[in-house]
Amino acid sequence: MKIGIPRALFYYQYYPFWKTFFESLDQKIVLSSPTNKDLLKKGLELCVDDACLPVKIFHGHVANLIGKVDTIFIPRIISIEPKEYICPKFLGLPDMIKNSIPDLPDIIDVDLNLYKSKIMFFRHFIKLGEILNKNKKQILIAFNKAQRVQQRFEYQLIKEKIVPQDILSETYKISQNEIFSYNPSKLKVLLLGHHYNIYDDFISMNLIMKLRKKNVTFITSEMVTNKIIVEGTKNLSKDMFWTLGKKAIGTAYYYLERKKVDGIIHVASFGCGPDSLVGEILEKRTRRDFHIPFLFLNLDEHSGEAGFNTRLEAFLDVLEGRKYFEDNIPTYG
């Protein structure tokens, strides 16, 4: 069977697992095209107006798979960590898609809900395997193999300080050693935001490539261990129950408290509820307690690349000015 996987949202986190699992069960994976203008246009036509940009783009990716596959995999993701949730848009995503896009093939929309226990991750894949008419032994073998591949993927991101595209995309190979060799004189920024925003080069307007070309070292939440996130969030007055927001705040506080970064770039989606709170907390604390420049990039389908580049360049100029010339330049330039 041909299973379509939209190259969007949790693709950037779980694709190695999904691909290995399905292929080990003799299924063929078909990915939607990388995000582009046409795909965005299609997503805008199909999706409700008040959704955030990544959800609109997800609609375009699903439409891109129609006619190429037997079924499309759109898990109903409710929680990916015990006692935490992710945004409710993921919970309703399969229903949104079914109601907005005509002529869909079958949709595999099994729940992924780890709120009560991590064991549910395994159960989620058991259910998937059963839908594909596989027996327990076959599912277990596929699951174990996929888990090893996923662990290696996550380890590589942390160890080599690379981004998912470096592993997932054949056309994205660059000289990692050259770019990431530690050099204290290089600018170092934290690049925060949901993985589906910062790693989708169309949404983020090639931000990662732009930083690399400027020779800026950057750290993302996917490049740090869970221990760092826990350490970074331990002094919060209240537990943060949004997994993606917690990752951003934990990464930021850990590096800020150790004075290990020159600035923060936060990429968010216009209209995103969780981001509006997380961004506010991050920006206030960064400016008030650490006096470090903070660039907030709020993206939607109307964002223009020229304005984006100007803001990015101005921000990097401020960082350079503070680092190499005068450290009394204010955080805003």
3-state secondary structure of 281: helix
> Looking at 13, 150, 243, 269, which residue binds ligand SF4 (CB under 6 A)?
269
3-state secondary structure of 73: strand
| Closer residue to ligand SF4 (CB): 57 or 224 | 57
- Does 279 bind ligand SF4 (CB under 6 A)? Our answer is no
- Does 275 bind ligand SF4 (CB under 6 A)? Our answer is yes
| Closer residue to ligand SF4 (CB): 8 or 142 | 8
Q: At its nearest, how many Å lie between ligand SF4 and the CB of residue 142?
A: 28
How is residue 26 written in tokens? Answer: 């003799």
* Element spanning 37, H or E: helix 37-46
Binding range to ligand SF4, per CB under 6 A, among 121-129, 148-156, 216-224, 273-281: 273-281
Which sign, positive or negative, has the C-alpha torsion 216, 217, 223, 229? negative
Binding residues for ligand SF4, rule CB under 6 A, total 11
- Which residues, 6 or more positions from 106, have their beta carbon under 8 angstroms from its beta carbon? 70, 71, 72
| Closer residue to ligand SF4 (CB): 18 or 196 | 196
263, 231 Cβ separation under 8 angstroms: no
Q: At its nearest, how many Å lie between ligand SF4 and the CB of residue 146?
A: 24
- Does 87 bind ligand SF4 (CB under 6 A)? Our answer is yes
- Does 47 bind ligand SF4 (CB under 6 A)? Our answer is no
Rounded distance, CA 209 to CA 193, Å? 16
Q: Which residues pair with 333 in a beta bridge?
A: none
- Does 74 bind ligand SF4 (CB under 6 A)? Our answer is no
Rounded distance, CA 181 to CA 120, Å? 39
DSSP 8-state symbol, 133: T
| Closer residue to ligand SF4 (CB): 24 or 204 | 204
> Looking at 274, 286, 290, 315, which residue binds ligand SF4 (CB under 6 A)?
274
- Does 55 bind ligand SF4 (CB under 6 A)? Our answer is yes
- Does 203 bind ligand SF4 (CB under 6 A)? Our answer is no
- Does 54 bind ligand SF4 (CB under 6 A)? Our answer is yes
Q: What is the CA radius of gyration of the chain?
A: 20
Binding range to ligand SF4, per CB under 6 A, among 30-38, 150-158, 214-222, 270-278: 270-278
Q: Which of 9, 86, 3 shows the shortest CA–CA distance to 47?
A: 9
β-strands 28-31, 2-5 pairing: parallel
Q: At its nearest, how many Å lie between ligand SF4 and the CB of residue 297?
A: 13
Rounded distance, CA 221 to CA 216, Å? 16
Rounded distance, CA 266 to CA 278, Å? 10
Q: At its nearest, how many Å lie between ligand SF4 and the CB of residue 271?
A: 7
> Looking at 5, 47, 112, 272, which residue binds ligand SF4 (CB under 6 A)?
272
What residues line the site for ligand SF4 (CB under 6 A)?
52, 54-55, 87, 89, 194, 269, 272-275
